[in-house]
Structures are given as C-alpha cells and as structure tokens.
Chains A and B, each alone.
Chain A
Amino acid sequence: MNNAISFARASWLVALILVAWQTLVGFRLLDPLFFPPPADLLSTLVSLVKSGEAGRQIAMTLSRTGVAFGLGVLWGAAASAVLALSATLRRAAQPLIAALYSTPRLTLLPMVMLLLGVNDLSRVFLVALGTALLMTIQISDAIRGVNKDYVDLAVNYGASRATVIRKVYLYACLPQIFTALRLSFSRALVLTISVELLNCDDGLGSMIWTAWQTFAIEKLYVSIAITATLGLFFQWLFQRLEERIAPWKEKTT
C-alpha cells in the first residue's frame, strides 16, 4: 500500500506528460513525424523486444559497463589504498588526477584507440579509467574525512593498525564508498553509451546512432527511453544495496 502511494507520488508527472503528448499528437498539435505518439512507441518497443534486438543491445551495453565498472572499482580501490598509505605519492599524483578528472573522458578515446586498437579493449579501458578516477577521488576524500576521535578510541583500546583500518576506516568510509559506487556506475553507463554512439557496431549507443542515421525516429525515442530506464533502475538498486550494507547510516542524526 505504501509502495503504491510512493510509486504514484514519483510517477504522476511522467504519466501526465505521456497523456498530454498523446493528446497533442492526436489533435495534430504536435507533428507525429518528430514526436511519435507514446502508443506507437510502445508497439515499437514490443517489436524490438520480440525480435530480441532490444535484449541483445542492452546485454552488450551492460556487459561492457559491468566489466569496465568492476575493473575500474578494483583499480580505484587499489589506487586510493596506495595513496592513503603514502603521502609522498599522494602529493605527486594529485595534479595528475585533477588534470585527468577535468578532461572529458570521451576526448581520450582517440588516444586510447591509437594505443589499444579500435576494439572493445579500448572501450572498456576508457570506461574503467573513468570509474577508477571517480572512485579514487571519492574514496580518498572519505578516508581524509574519517573523524580522528574514532581512530584514537580504537588505538587506545589496543587495536592494531590492521584492526583500525578494518574496524574504523572501512566502516567510517562505507556510506561514502557506496555513494561513490552509485555515482560511478551511472557515469560508467553514460560513458559506455557515449563511446558506443561514437564508435561501435552494437550496444544502446550504436542503436541510437543507427536509428538517427536511418531516420527511424520511433526506434530513436525507444532506445533513449530504454537507456534512461536502465539508469534509473541501477540508481534504485544501488540505493537499496546501501541501505542493507550500511544500516546505521540513516539512523545517525
């Protein structure tokens, strides 16, 4: 019951837009060539799902995103651990990270393709790099923000260095790490689709670009809607995960 209410609260505006859209096109106030009515889009979606194309493209995009995200998270976690332990390295790496962070990742694609070839390796590498950058910045920030009182307390009660890292730093950083994971994943998805849009034969990005090139307007709309829904779904998933893994977070005032 509560779920139904919160669903209604979150979706009435979308429903209203769809109804208005359908009505306006119905009265020819909007040109159906540029704004295909939602009902038509739905049947396009159904046929794309039935033909298996939608599933195949989603699977391609998600597998690229998943592999790149996984590698990027490990890369970022390792990098932030090293940076947390060595102040010398931290100071030296800081300008490099800042420079990379302020460069749009997509602009690095040609260079990466030059070095790794025009293939999935370079696509995955670029997305992994983007994920690793964001994760490193966020985790390093979380580690810096850990309240020294908790470290003092643990040390005072006889905790070893390893125990302090495991029992204090890890937990104190966990909520922020989860926020970072959520942000990084949606960035990874965006970047993967952008890369596919620029240079790829399959995946959602390529589907959108092909739809545009062939003026398949309905397919264009549907692929964008699928992309948006995927993003929404993963945001929701990561939020649920966070509530389960860091249950104290919402309860802390």
Chain B
Amino acid sequence: MFDAILNCTRLGVTYPDHGKSVRALTDVTFEVHKGEFVAVIGPSGCGKTTLLHVLAGLLPPTSGSVERNIELEGRPRTAMVFQENSVFPWMTVLQNAAFGLEMRRVPRAERERQAMAMLERFGLAGRERDYPGELSTGMKARVAVIRAFLSGAPVLLMDEPFAALDRQRRIMAQQELEELWESQRKTVVFVTHDVDEAIQLSDRVVVLSASPGTVLAEYKVPMTRPRTLLWERDDEAFALKRRIFELLQLAPLELSASCSQ
C-alpha cells in the first residue's frame, strides 16, 4: 500500500548466544499504515521485543528488509515504551515526561508546560517532582506513555506497557491510551500477549508464532470506535477472539466447541 509507514518484508533476525546462533524472527512480512493502531500478539519467546527493536532501528535485520517511511523534521522517528525500565529512575516525573521534547531541543519552559498539561490530564498533577521510585507501576506506565506521545515521533512502539498492572488498572490505562490515540492519531505498534487487550485497542491484529517468530495471521478488528468494554457481546469481535485463541492454541477444543453454540 502506498501509505505504509512501516513495511517489513521477509524480515529475519538471528543473533549469537553462547556460540550458537538463535533465530528470533523468520520471514516476517507485514505493514503498518499511517495513523493505524496495530497489535502484535504471540506467545512469549516469539521475538516480539526483537521485532520492536528492529522497527525502532536499534537492531538491523539479519535478512529481509524493514522500510520506515517516516519523514524527519528534527524529530525522533519512533518512540518506545517498555514494560519494565520504561522511565529513567534518576529523572523526575516531569523530566521523564518531557524527555522526548528535550531531545528535540524544545526550550525548557515550553516542554515543561506541555508535559504539565499532559500530567494534569492523566491524574499526575502534584507528582511532577517525584522520582519514579515513588510511583506505582500504573503511574510509571502512564508517564512512559505520555513521554511517547509528547516526543513528536509519528510512530509509537509499545512493548507490553501494561503487562505488570492488575486487571482494573490495566483497563484504566487502556482507556487512557485509547483516548490519547483518538486525539492524536499516531501510528502505534502495540506488542502484547493479552488477546483481549489486542482486540480492545487495535485496528488490526498481527498474530505471531513462537520461536522463531513468524506471522501466522492478520485480522482486521471489526469494531467501530469508541469501543465498549463489553465488546465480547459483539458476535464478530467475539468470533475474532476465538479464532486468535485457537491460533495460539490457548483454548482446548472442547471449550471452543461449546463457545460456538
């Protein structure tokens, strides 16, 4: 497609590990369009994190190619959010949130103004001078997501940013992310191992297999936005969830059979 902002073609990554070479990814082909929210889902060890590093340009692919059609105007091309170590422990909440702006040499007053506005919007007002060690896991994840959106990068790469949160906090974080994304329409590649999370958030789900990771299937999520939390009542969306479960062999056959009645 002409508006593909990320384009992976037969991507493969092999890296040496204690003298042996380990294939993390093989023959991965998919594209991400501008403004699209794509979830990448797969079992652990399917090379999801490796894939994000390749998309971020931090790791060159061993074979195949990755095209990143991102025009640069003194901005980072991609902004990453990790599950752990996603914020710098030695920077305050405000400094962390404004880090992307700082790297773009936005003057201090301006970047702090923008970061404060975002922190206030997401319930972190009053915590801006705290260090991450004083925050809950959920707040840290929020700061990391805010930093990514503020960075000006057109593509956001998120590596299970909410995996460490309990179910309730994860739902809140997902709603905030959806709201932010609705207001800014950045391109997002969101890696997760949670099928519900993938369907809840994304326009399209890319399913990877385990070691070495390769694309098993791609599905469009058949739901309009804004989405309800009770999307499982939607027949099409629920059918998609079942298909992905089967593909990842998460559900025993009997369960799938009883579900289809």
Interface residues of A (CB under 8 A from B): 147, 149-150, 152-159, 163, 167-168, 171-172, 174, 246-248, 250-253
Expressed in whole angstroms, the minimum distance between the Cβ of A151 and any Cβ of chain B is 9
Subset of 9 A-B contacts with CB under 8 Å: A149-B86, A153-B85, A156-B56, A156-B79, A157-B151, A158-B76, A163-B103, A168-B88, A251-B131
From 47 to 96 in chain B, residues with beta carbon under 8 angstroms from any chain A beta carbon are 53, 56-58, 75-76, 78-80, 82, 84-86, 88-91
- Contact, CB under 8 Å: A156 / B80: yes
A149-B85, A150-B85, A248-B133 given; A172·B90 CB < 8 A: yes
- Contact, CB under 8 Å: B90 / A153: no
Q: Please give, as numbers and ranges, the residues of chain A lying within 8 Å of B79 by CB-CB distance.
A: 156-157
- Contact, CB under 8 Å: B84 / A253: no
A152-B53, A156-B58, A157-B103 given; A252·B132 CB < 8 A: yes
A159-B103, A172-B90, A246-B90 given; A251·B53 CB < 8 A: no
Give Cα distance in the complex from A157 to B156, angstroms: 11
- Contact, CB under 8 Å: A171 / B88: yes
* Beta-carbon nearest neighbor of A152 in chain B: B58
Q: Please give, as numbers and ranges, the residues of chain B lying within 8 Å of A155 by CB-CB distance.
A: 58
Q: Please give, as numbers and ranges, the residues of chain A lying within 8 Å of B80 by CB-CB distance.
A: 152-153, 156-157
Expressed in whole angstroms, the minimum distance between the Cβ of B134 and any Cβ of chain A is 5
A152-B53, A251-B133, A252-B133 given; A157·B84 CB < 8 A: no
- Contact, CB under 8 Å: B100 / A157: yes
- Contact, CB under 8 Å: A156 / B76: yes
Report which residue of A149, A155, A248, A250 has the largest number of chain B beta carbons within 10 angstroms of its beta carbon. Answer: A248
- Contact, CB under 8 Å: A153 / B89: no
